[in-house]
Amino acid sequence: MIYKVAVVGAGSISKAHMNGYNLNKDRIQVVGVVDPYKIAQDEFKEEYSVKNSYSSIDDLFKDCIPDIVSICTWHSLHHVQTIDIAKRGVKAIICEKPMAIGSGAAQEMLDACKKNDVELIISHQRRFTPGWEKAKEIVDSELIGKIQFVELKALEGLLNWATHNIDGSRYIIGDPETKWVLGAVERTTNKYERNTIIEDACMGLFEYTNGIQTFVQSDLNQYDYTSKWKTNHPIVIRGEKGVLDITEYEIKMLGDGKGWKTIPADIPKEEIDPIGGETNGKLVKELIELLDGKISNHRCSGDNAKKTLDIMMSIYQSARTNERVNFPVTEKEYPLELMANEEKFNLKVKEKYDIRGFLDRSNVDEDDYLKLKKQGIPHHLLMQKVKRK
């Protein structure tokens, strides 16, 4: 069976999704793209040889009902678009991370997909990177003994990078259930990411029901990239017998009395973008196996993503209430936004700014955009250089 796919949102992240679909061409046919900007539609169709484009989700479903829909839009749209699309007869949805803004919204997504028999997959595709897969294999083999502690570092916001760190470390140690979360947040500037309020920096300590604790810090340490793969999602796992220092394509282990040594992983001969290419290809392949009935669970399931999201929301909620948050979570809204509305932040810079605001295409000079594109400038850099109206 060939599964028909539609992509909602023709921005830069849609390219990562298309990389995954293109690696599964024997089972996948991309039939259309949805984007409010005609020039973005045309650009997408030309680059990927996609026949149809639409200005809205309604227009798409008036024309056809795809089997799979990729949601590649900004954070705040994930919730409403997933619920809307789940009701329209699709078999699966691949939604970008973060899953939603708020635990309540994430649960509504899960409920809508379950009610309509739709598989919900969240783009935590780094679970398929060879370093993380090898690290899970080492942990499962008990080579470093019983896991005791996990350390994570991230940049550019908890909802942006840290969602991968937290989710990836959960994957490696077996996706345990969370017991409690304790968090702290700094917000002295009016900072946003893709029009969603975020923090300047934060940290969180959480404990799983199996006793393993994890410490995450975001935007508090400008660490060096020591790997040739220029990873930005380091994970350190301490066990009774040893320590693993993990990146997407490299693992170092300490524990045999001979110092650090590199553990071989399925490292590619050429550098591969961890947010596209083979990782997204494997995510799509596993979804196909799920839809074919060959497997019963997907490692990037919405259920798993909700557990990761609950941890992040609880870091904010703990900072809001000044106490530990015990699971299951009860706060359904976005705690960081609640804190802002409650005027709990002492802003030293009150002017709103968005660290991804340059991706907004609403006021772009499209003629200048096309000139820059013809020069071969990558999309993210192009959007920072393009003239605005």
Say what the pLDDT of residue 370 is: 77
Domain segments of the chain as ranges: 3-125+275-300, 359-389
Interval 72-93 mean pLDDT? 97
Region of residue 370 (phi > 0: left; psi between -120 and 50: alpha; otherwise: beta): alpha
| pLDDT value for 386 | 82
Closest listed residue to residue 359, CA positions, set 196, 205, 177 = 196
Amino acid at 316: Y
Overall size of the chain counted in residues: 389
Min mean pLDDT across 102-106, 139-143, 169-173, 192-196 is at 192-196
- Candidates 121, 122, 116; CA nearest to 89 is 116
* Residues above pLDDT 70, as percent of the chain: 94
> Each residue of 14-47: pLDDT tens digit?
999 999 999 999 999 999 999 999 989 999 999 9
Q: Are 265 and 130 in contact (CB under 8 A)?
A: yes
> Residue 284 is which amino acid?
V
Q: Which CATH class is domain 3-125+275-300?
A: alpha beta
Q: Which token pair is 138?
A: 């080492």
Residue 168 has what pLDDT?
96
H helical segments located in 299-365: 302-321, 335-341
Q: Is the pLDDT of residue 345 over 90?
A: yes
| Cα–Cα distance for residue pair 29/21, rounded to 1 Å | 8
pLDDT(233) > 80: no
The pLDDT tens digits of the residues spanning 271-317 come to 555 556 789 999 999 999 999 999 999 999 999 999 999 999 999 99
Residue-level pLDDT at 122: 98
Question: Which band of pLDDT confidence, cut at 50, 70 and 90, is reported for residue 229?
Answer: very low
Mean per-residue pLDDT over the chain, rounded: 91
Half-sphere exposure of residue 245, counting CA atoms within 13 Å on the CB side? 12
Contact 162, 152 (CB under 8 A): yes
Nearest Cα to Cα of residue 266 among 102, 357, 135, 150: 135
pLDDT confidence tier of residue 232, bands split at 50, 70 and 90: low
**Cβ atoms of 68 and 3 closer than 8 Å:** yes
- State the average pLDDT over residues 58-75: 97
First and final C-alpha spacing in the chain: 47
Paired with 254 in beta bridges are: 243
3-state secondary structure of 91: coil
Give the neighbor-by-neighbor strand order of the sheet with 261-263. Answer: 261-263, 251-254, 243-246, 235-239, 147-154, 213-218, 201-208, 178-186, 325-326
Q: Which residue has the higher pLDDT, 362 or 106?
A: 106
**pTM assigned to the model:** 0.92
SS3 assignment, position 251: strand
DSSP string, 186-246: E--EEEEETTEE--SEEEEEEEETTS-EEEEEESS------STT--S--EEEEESS-EEEE
The dihedrals phi and psi of 211, each to the nearest 5 degrees, come to: 95, -10
The tokens of 151 are what? 């350390």
Measured CA to CA, the distance from residue 284 to residue 379 in angstroms comes to 24
Quick: pLDDT tens for 217-226.
999 876 554 4
Tell me which residue of 223, 215, 222, 157 sits closest to 191, measured CA to CA. 157
Rg of the chain, C-alpha, whole Å: 21
Please tell me the predicted confidence (pLDDT) of residue 275.
55
Q: Is 34 left (phi over 0), alpha (psi -120 to 50) or beta?
A: beta
